[in-house]
Amino acid sequence: MITDTRKSPFAKVASIPYADVEWTGGLYKERFDTCADVTVAHLQRMFESKEISHVLENFKIAAGEAEGEFDGTVFGDGDFYKWMESAVYTAVKTKNQKLLDRLEEYIDLFGRAQLEDGYLSTKQIIGERLGNGVSRQGDINDFEVYNMGHMFTSASLHYRLTGKDSFLKVAEKAAGYLKNLYEEAARTGEVKTAVCPSHYMGLLELYRTTGKQEYYELAKLAIELRDSVENGLDDNQDKIPLKQHRKIVGHAVRANYLYAGVADRYMENGDQEYKEVLDSVWHHLVTQKMYLTGGCGALYNGASPYGYFFDHQLVHQAYGYEYQLPNVTAYNETCASLGGVFWAWRMFCIEPKAEYMDMLERMMLNVNLAGISMDGKKFFYENMLRRAKELPYELIWGQERAEYILSYCCPPNLARTIAETAEYAYAVDRDGVWTGLYGANRASFTLENGASFTLEQKTEYPWNGTIAFAVEESNGVPFTLHLRIPSWVRGGMLIMENASVRLSAKDAGTYIEVVVNHPKDACICLDLNMKPRLTRGHGMIEEDRNQVAVEYGPFVYCVESPDTDAEYLEDLLMPLNPEFAVKDFEIGGRTVKALEATMLQICHGEFARDALYQDFMGDELKPVTVRMIPYYAWDNRGMGEMMIWLPLAWRTV
**SS3 state at 121:** coil
Q: Tens of pLDDT along 509-552? A: 999 999 999 999 899 999 999 999 999 999 999 999 999 999 99
Q: Average pLDDT in the 257-276 region?
A: 98
Cα separation values, 426 from 36, 377, 378, 444, 484, Å: 22, 29, 30, 10, 10
**Is there a domain that residue 104 lies in?**
no
Query: Which residue, of 528, 553, 584, is where some domain finishes?
Result: 528
Q: Are 200 and 261 spatial neighbours (Cβ–Cβ below 8 Å)?
A: yes
- Total domains, the chain: 2
Same domain, 540 and 623: yes
* Res 306: pLDDT: 63
Q: Quote the percentage of the chain above a pLDDT of 70.
A: 98
Q: What average pLDDT does the chain have? A: 95
Q: Average pLDDT in the 85-112 region?
A: 98
Q: Are 383 and 397 spatial neighbours (Cβ–Cβ below 8 Å)?
A: no
Same domain, 487 and 549: no
Count of CB atoms within 10 A of residue 578's CB? 22
Q: Average pLDDT in the 600-626 region?
A: 90
Least reliable range by pLDDT among 7-21, 343-357, 606-620, 630-644: 606-620
Q: Write out the residue range of the structural domain in which residue 512 sits.
A: 427-528
**Is there a domain that residue 416 lies in?**
no
**Is there a domain that residue 434 lies in?**
yes
Q: Is the pLDDT score of 594 beyond 60?
A: yes
**Is there a domain that residue 245 lies in?**
no
* Ordered DSSP codes for 305-346: -SS-GGG--EEEEEE-STT---STT----HHHHHHHHHHHHH
Q: Is the pLDDT score of 613 beyond 70?
A: yes
φ and ψ at 523, to 5 degrees? -140, 130
* Res 315: pLDDT: 80
* Res 605: pLDDT: 83
Q: Is the pLDDT score of 1 beyond 70?
A: no
Q: Average pLDDT in the 40-62 region?
A: 97
Same domain, 451 and 507: yes
Q: Tens of pLDDT along 470-512? A: 999 999 999 999 999 999 999 999 998 778 999 999 999 999 9
Same domain, 537 and 643: yes
Same domain, 577 and 636: yes
Q: Comparing C-alpha atoms, which of 232, 245, 414 is closest to residue 333?
A: 414
Same domain, 502 and 537: no
Same domain, 498 and 570: no
Q: Is the pLDDT score of 312 beyond 70?
A: no
CA distance 542 to 539: 7
- Non-local (6+) Cβ contacts of 114 within 8 A are 120, 170, 173, 174
Q: Is the pLDDT score of 575 beyond 60?
A: yes
Q: Is the pLDDT score of 194 beyond 90?
A: no
Q: Tens of pLDDT along 353-406? A: 999 999 999 999 999 999 999 999 999 999 999 999 888 888 888 899 999 988
Q: Average pLDDT in the 277-281 region?
A: 98
Same domain, 548 and 634: yes
∠ CA 493-495-500, rounded to 5°:
80
**Is there a domain that residue 131 lies in?**
no
Same domain, 476 and 537: no
Same domain, 586 and 505: no
Cα separation values, 493 from 48, 288, 497, Å: 52, 32, 13
Q: Comparing C-alpha atoms, which of 588, 593, 518 is closest to residue 550?
A: 593
Q: Comparing C-alpha atoms, which of 87, 100, 2 is closest to residue 411?
A: 87
* Res 307: pLDDT: 57
Q: Is the pLDDT score of 303 beyond 70?
A: no
Q: Tens of pLDDT along 146-165? A: 999 999 999 999 999 999 99
Same domain, 575 and 485: no
Cα separation values, 113 from 64, 107, 227, 298, 412, Å: 7, 10, 33, 39, 22
* Res 653: pLDDT: 64
* Res 540: pLDDT: 97
Q: Are 252 and 319 spatial neighbours (Cβ–Cβ below 8 Å)?
A: yes
CA distance 526 to 500: 10
∠ CA 162-168-170, rounded to 5°:
135
CA distance 317 to 302: 8
Q: Are 635 and 401 spatial neighbours (Cβ–Cβ below 8 Å)?
A: yes
CA distance 358 to 276: 21
Query: In the structure, what pLDDT confidence band is assigned to residue 310 with cuts at 50, 70 and 90?
Result: low
Residue 39 DSSP code: I
Q: Is the pLDDT score of 597 beyond 70?
A: yes
Least reliable range by pLDDT among 235-239, 267-271, 275-279: 235-239
CA distance 525 to 493: 8
Query: Which residue, of 484, 508, 528, is where some domain finishes?
Result: 528
What CATH number is given to the structural domain containing 442?
A: 2.60.40
Q: Comparing C-alpha atoms, which of 74, 30, 621, 4 is closest to residue 365?
A: 30
φ and ψ at 557, to 5 degrees? -110, 160
Residue 372 DSSP code: B
Q: Is the pLDDT score of 308 beyond 60?
A: no
**Is there a domain that residue 364 lies in?**
no
* Phi-psi group of 203: left, alpha or beta (phi > 0 → left; psi -120 to 50 → alpha; rest → beta): alpha
**Is there a domain that residue 301 lies in?**
no
CA distance 198 to 261: 7
Q: Are 88 and 157 spatial neighbours (Cβ–Cβ below 8 Å)?
A: yes
Q: Average pLDDT in the 346-352 region?
A: 98
Same domain, 537 and 641: yes
Query: Which residue, of 528, 554, 584, is where some domain finishes?
Result: 528
**Is there a domain that residue 309 lies in?**
no
Cα separation values, 576 from 341, 548, 649, Å: 34, 10, 7
Q: Is the pLDDT score of 313 beyond 90?
A: no
